[in-house]
Amino acid sequence: MSSATHTMHPAGFDDAAVTVSNLQRRYGQRTVIRGLNLRIARGEFVALLGESGCGKTTLLRALAGLDCIDGGRIEGASQPAVVFQEHRLIPWDPLWRNVSLGLDDRTGKPLAKAALEEVGLGSRIDDWPRNLSGGQAQRVALARALVREPRLLLLDEPFAALDALTRIRMHALVRQLLDRHRPGVLLVTHDVDEAIVLADRILVMRDGAIASDYTVAPEAAHNRDHPAAQALRAQLLDELGVAAATPA
Ligand SMILES: Nc1ncnc2c1ncn2[C@@H]1O[C@H](COP(=O)(O)OP(=O)(O)OP(=O)(O)O)[C@@H](O)[C@H]1O
């Protein structure tokens, strides 16, 4: 059962996938990130919540090396992989070449085939992005992210555009893949339930820093109806300023 291996994570956390100290980011006069500290261990899945505009994407872009920073340090995050809300596949390359991007064809093709098999698309390696559903395209994006065994995987709302059923299937697949590959993961999401189902730890960002840090009990991750999951959901919604549905 894939969920059983998920519970092994806390004991298995070892070295850091990334360590962020006193990070600062300004846009003009406006300080978006002020003195943010964060450590994600290898094999650890961290979800980041926070109200719109609080700086989640700015943090993720800084970790990805897509944006500069104005102060502080980011250590250990060399060449992280990123999966965005939209798949960003190259339309004129077959799936295997999308996945093996940057590797030479001889070594890249077998690696891409294995990665596509892992996401259930092993029979489609010569197919084209235009022939994929939204969920399939995100599976290819995941294969592309994991093929290089990154130390840090950044997920920027990768399931937000998918329908509810596909999203649930993707959650199961992601848990399976990460139990095998064990990168450190930072998931930016607006979906509190997604954070509870997937993450070992949930951070809430406010005023440019991490305001809260919740550890997700394994029983909450495995069952969204478990009292521990309901209590955590209520706490998170309250902190995010959304009225919880079940007052005591
Ligand atoms: N390139 C930019 N130039 C100026 N301001 C920016 C730039 N990018 C982001 N900002 C500002 O920084 C703040 C944080 O933006 P960011 O996109 O990181 O928020 P977010 O938490 O990811 O929001 P959302 O949840 O809506 O995606 C916002 O006030 C935004 O207007």
Strand pairing report for 30-41 and 152-156: unpaired
At 23 the pLDDT is: 98
Atom of ligand 1 nearest to the CA of 190: 25
Q: Judge if the beta carbon of residue 53 lies within 6 A of ligand 1.
A: yes
Mean pLDDT of the chain: 89
| Token reading at 236 | 């998170």
Q: Judge if the beta carbon of residue 136 lies within 6 A of ligand 1.
A: no
Contact 55, 205 (CB under 8 A): yes
Interface predicted TM-score (ipTM) of this complex, two decimals:
0.96
Query: In this predicted model, what pLDDT tens digit does every residue of 149-191 receive, in sequence order?
Result: 999 999 999 999 899 999 999 999 999 999 888 999 999 999 9
Site to probe by mutation for ligand 1, drawn from 24, 25, 27, 69 as the one with most ligand atoms within 8 Å of Cβ, is: 27
CA 123 to chain centre: 26
Query: In this predicted model, what pLDDT tens digit does every residue of 47-83 receive, in sequence order?
Result: 999 999 999 999 999 999 999 999 999 998 778 999 9
| H helices present in 133-217, as ranges | 134-146, 164-181, 192-198
Can you give the pTM of this predicted structure? 0.89
What phi and psi values does residue 196 have, to the nearest 5 degrees? -65, -40
